[in-house]
C-alpha cells in the first residue's frame, strides 16, 4: 500500500518521483528527492500533510519548526548535505508517526534561495549564491559569476567541518551532527578539576593539546583570511560552532591563578591497546600539566595563539563579543606564562605524547596574533624577537616558522602585513619556491608534494594553504593558486586511483580508516580491529594519511601510516579549500591544471 507525495517545485530545482514506501498502523515511511540542474548551496523544505502527524523523524535535515496543527513541518539542510552539485541528486527519507491507520497525503516544497521563500519572514531562505562577500567579508552583492571549479570545494569544506565534530570528546550538544557519536570521557579530570571536552587527536582517544592548539589556530587563520568563502557557501555558523569546542576546552585547561596548564589527557600506551568506541572506554586517563617549575612555552604559546585568533574570529565574524573578551584575557595571561617561564614542554614532562624541538616559533606566532588582537606594540616586538629566519621544512604541529612568516598577510595576522618588510615577503617566496617543482621538495610521479610518509596528504595540503595565503596578498597570485589547486585536486581525485582522500567526498573514497569510533558498531560495546568489511560509521570529511612516495595507496585499516586521520591533517587542508573558494567567488580561480596521471 502506498500513496504519492507530490514535490512542489518553486525554483529551478526539479524532483524525482516521490512515494510513501511503507505504511503501518501508526506510521509511514516516505522519501523525496531533489534533482537539480544547477549547483545549490543550502536548501529548505516545507512538508504539509492533510492529517496531523504526532512526530516527524528525518536524518538528512533538521526540523526547525512544527505548525500548531501538526500538519506542517519546516526543515533545513544539515551540514553534510547542504551542497548539491550541478546535475546532482539528494534523496531524503523520513518517517511520520500518527494515531490511527491512515495514509496521509503530503506535499513537499523545496527552496534553494533562488526565489523568495514561500514561508513567512520567519522562514527566510539562506543567502543566495549571488550574495558574495567582498575582500573583507562585508557581504556586498556582486554580479560576477563564480569561477568554474573542477571539484566541489564547498562540499569538501563542509565535510571537513563535520570531521572535527566527529572528534569531539565530552558531553555532546543537542545539535550533534554525527549520529554515531555520543557522550564520552565525561569524567576527564585531575583532583576534581573538570577537563572534559576537546578533540580526540586522531583515530585514538588521547587529547594532545600541542597538535590540537596548532590545528585550532591554523583553522582560525583560514577562517579569518577567507571568511568570505565561509559566508558565501553558508558555512560560517557551522565553523563558529565547530571551532568553539576546542577553545572551550583550552579555557578549562588553563588555570591562571595557579599558573597551571593541562596539556594532555590520556595514557597513549593504554589508549592504543584499546580498540573500541570512546563511548565505551573505561581505562585510567591521567592528566599532564606544565607549571613554572615544569615549563612548556611551546604548548602554552600555541594555546595563546589559538585564544588570540579565536578572539578575532568571535569578535569580528561569529558575533560573540563577550566570549571574544574571555579568549583575549586568557591569551594574554597564558602568553605571559609561556614567555616568563621558558622551556620545552616535552623535556619538562617526558611523558608527553608529542615531542617538541623548540618554542620560539610558537612564541612568535602567539605574539603576532596578540598584536593583531590588541595592537599593543610590545607583542609586535616579541614576534620579531622570537621570529626565526631560514626556509622552514613545512607547516606542521612541530614547525610553525612559516606561519610567523606567511600567515600575517591580509588576514590581519602576522609579520608581513604588520610591517610590510620585504624580508618577510622573501621568506614566503623562498618557502613556496622550495615546495614547488624545481625546489628541494620531493614529488610523487603523479604530482603530489611529498614531504614525509606520515600524513603525506597533510603536507601537500599545508603547502597549498600557505601558497593561497600568499596569493591572496598578491604574491605570484596566478602561479601560486594554480599550483595549490593542483595539490588539492590531487587529494580530491586527480591521482592514479581517481580516489578522493577525503572520506565522503565523491563516489570513491577510503572505506577503512584507522579510526576506532568509525570502525566500531554503535550496537555493541566490543569490536575487533580485524573485523571484515568497510567501517560501519562513515567518518565524513576526514583526510586520511595518504600515499607513499610512488603514489601507492591501499585502503587498509591496519595500515595506520596511510589510513589514520588526525586533527592536524585537516587543518591546512580546510584552509586551502576556503582559499580556493575565495578565488572562485571573486571569479579569479584559474583553469584547473591537468592531472599528471590517468586513473587505473
| Nearest of 377, 373, 228 to residue 311 by alpha carbon | 373
CA-CA-CA-CA torsion sign (498, 500, 501, 504): negative
Q: Which three-class secondary structure state does DSSP give residue 375?
A: coil
Gap between the Cα atoms of 568 and 397, Å rounded:
7
Q: Any catalytic annotation for residue 57?
A: no
Gap between the Cα atoms of 323 and 306, Å rounded:
14
207: β partners = 265
Gap between the Cα atoms of 593 and 527, Å rounded:
44
| Nearest of 358, 408, 410, 413 to residue 386 by alpha carbon | 358
554 contacts 530 by C-beta, under 8 angstroms: no
462: β partners = none
| Nearest of 434, 429, 439, 440 to residue 470 by alpha carbon | 429
CA distances from 223 to 107, 137, 161, 470 (A): 39, 11, 12, 15
| Nearest of 387, 366, 256, 358 to residue 305 by alpha carbon | 366
Q: Any catalytic annotation for residue 91?
A: no
Gap between the Cα atoms of 261 and 238, Å rounded:
28
Catalytic residue among 271, 502, 551, 564: 564
Q: Is 388 exposed, middle or buried (0-12, 13-18, 19+ CB in 10 A)?
A: middle
Residue 447 CB neighbour total at 10 angstroms: 23
CA distances from 27 to 4, 22, 100 (A): 15, 9, 8
Catalytic residue among 555, 558, 559, 568: 555
Widest CA span of the chain, in angstroms?
A: 77
Exposure letters 553-579 (e unless 16+ CB within 10 A, then b):
bebebeebebbbbbbbbbbbbbbbbbb
Residues serving a catalytic function are 555, 564
Amino acid at each position: 500500500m502506498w500513496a504519492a507525495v507530490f514535490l512542489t517545485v518553486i525554483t529551478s530545482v526539479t524532483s524525482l518521483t516521490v512515494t510513501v514506501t511503507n505504511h503501518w498502523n501508526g506510521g509511514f515511511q516516505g522519501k523525496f528527492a531533489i534533482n537539480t540542474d544547477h549547483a545549490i548551496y543550502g536548501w529548505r523544505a516545507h512538508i504539509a500533510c492533510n492529517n496531523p502527524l504526532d512526530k516527524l523523524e528525518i536524518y538528512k535535515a533538521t526540523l526547525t519548526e512544527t505548525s500548531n496543527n501538526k500538519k506542517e513541518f519546516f526543515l533545513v539542510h544539515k551540514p553534510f548535505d547542504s551542497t548539491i552539485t550541478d546535475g546532482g541528486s539528494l534523496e531524503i527519507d523520513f518517517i511520520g508517526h500518527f494515531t490511527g491507520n491512515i495514509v496521509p497525503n503530503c506535499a513537499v516544497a523545496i527552496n534553494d534561495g533562488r526565489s523568495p521563500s514561500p514561508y513567512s519572514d520567519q522562514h527566510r531562505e539562506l543567502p543566495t549564491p549571488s550574495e558574495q562577500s567582498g575582500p573583507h567579508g562585508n557581504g556586498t552583492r556582486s554580479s560576477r559569476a563564480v569561477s568554474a571549479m573542477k571539484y566541489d570545494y564547498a562540499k569538501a569544506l563542509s565535510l571537513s567541518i563535520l570531521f572535527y565534530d566527529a572528534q569531539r570528546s565530552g558531553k555532546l550538544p543537542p545539535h550533534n551532527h554525527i549520529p554515531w557519536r555520543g557522550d564520552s570521557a565525561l569524567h576527564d579530570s585531575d583532583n576534581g578539576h573538570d577537563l572534559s571536552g576537546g578533540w580526540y587527536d586522531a583515530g585514538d582517544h588521547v587529547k594532545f593539546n600541542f597538535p590540537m592548539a596548532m590545528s585550532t589556530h591554523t583553522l582560525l587563520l583560514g577562517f579569518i583570511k577567507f571568511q568570505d568563502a565561509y559566508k558565501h557557501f553558508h558555512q560560517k555558523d557551522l565553523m563558529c560552532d565547530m571551532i568553539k569546542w576546542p577553545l572551550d576546552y583550552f579555557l578549562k585547561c588553563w588555570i591562571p591563578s595557579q599558573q597551571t596548564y593541562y596539556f594532555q589527557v590520556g595514557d597513549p600506551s593504554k589508549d592504543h591497546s584499546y580498540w573500541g568506541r570512546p563511548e565505551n572506554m573505561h581505562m585510567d586517563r591521567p592528566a599532564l600539566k606544565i607549571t613554572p617549575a615544569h615549563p612548556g612555552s611551546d604548548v602554552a604559546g600555541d594555546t595563546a595563539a589559538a585564544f588570540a585568533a579565536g578572539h578575532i574570529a568571535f569578535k569580528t565574524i561569529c558575533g560573540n563579543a563577550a566570549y571574544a573578551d574571555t579568549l583575549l584575557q586568557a591569551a594574554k595571561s597564558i602568553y605571559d606564562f609561556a614567555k616568563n617561564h621558558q622551556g620545552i614542554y616535552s623535556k619538562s614532562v617526558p611523558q608527553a605524547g608529542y615531542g617538541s624541538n623548540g618554542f620560539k616559533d610558537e612564541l612568535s606566532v602567539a605574539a603576532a596574533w596578540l598584536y593583531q588582537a590588541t595592537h599593543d606594540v610590545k607583542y609586535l616586538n616579541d614576534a620579531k624577537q622570537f621570529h626565526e629566519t631560514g626556509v622552514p621544512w613545512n607547516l606542521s604541529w612541530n614547525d610553525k616558522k612559516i606561519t610567523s612568516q606567511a600567515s600575517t598577510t591580509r588576514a590581519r595576522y602576522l609579520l608581513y602585513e604588520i610591517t610590510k618588510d620585504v624580508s618577510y615577503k622573501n621568506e614566503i617566496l623562498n618557502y613556496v619556491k622550495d615546495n614547488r617543482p624545481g625546489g628541494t621538495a620531493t614529488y610523487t610521479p603523479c604530482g603530489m608534494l611529498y614531504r614525509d610518509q606520515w600524513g603525506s596528504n597533510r603536507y601537500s595540503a599545508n603547502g597549498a594553504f600557505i601558497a593561497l595565503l600568499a596569493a591572496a596578498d598578491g604574491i605570484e597570485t596566478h602561479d601560486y593558486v594554480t599550483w595549490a589547486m593542483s595539490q588539492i585536486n590531487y587529494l580530491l581525485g586527480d591521482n592514479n586511483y581517481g580516489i578522493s582522500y577525503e572520506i565522503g567526498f565523491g563516489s570513491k573514497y577510503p572505506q577503512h580508516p584507522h579510526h576506532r569510533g568509525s570502525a566500531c558498531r554503535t550496537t555493541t560495546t566490543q569490536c575487533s580491529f580485524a573485523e571484515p568489511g568497510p567501517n560501519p560509521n562513515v567518518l565524513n570529511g576526514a583526510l586520511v594519511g595518504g600515499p607513499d612516495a610512488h603514489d601507492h595507496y591501499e585502503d587498509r585499516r591496519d595500515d595506520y601510516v596511510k589510513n589514520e586521520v588526525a586533527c592536524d591533517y585537516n587543518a591546512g587542508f580546510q584552509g586551502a579549500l576556503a582559499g580556493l573558494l575565495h578565488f572562485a567567488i571573486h571569479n579569479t580561480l584559474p583553469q584547473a591544471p591537468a592531472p599528471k596521471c590517468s586513473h587505473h
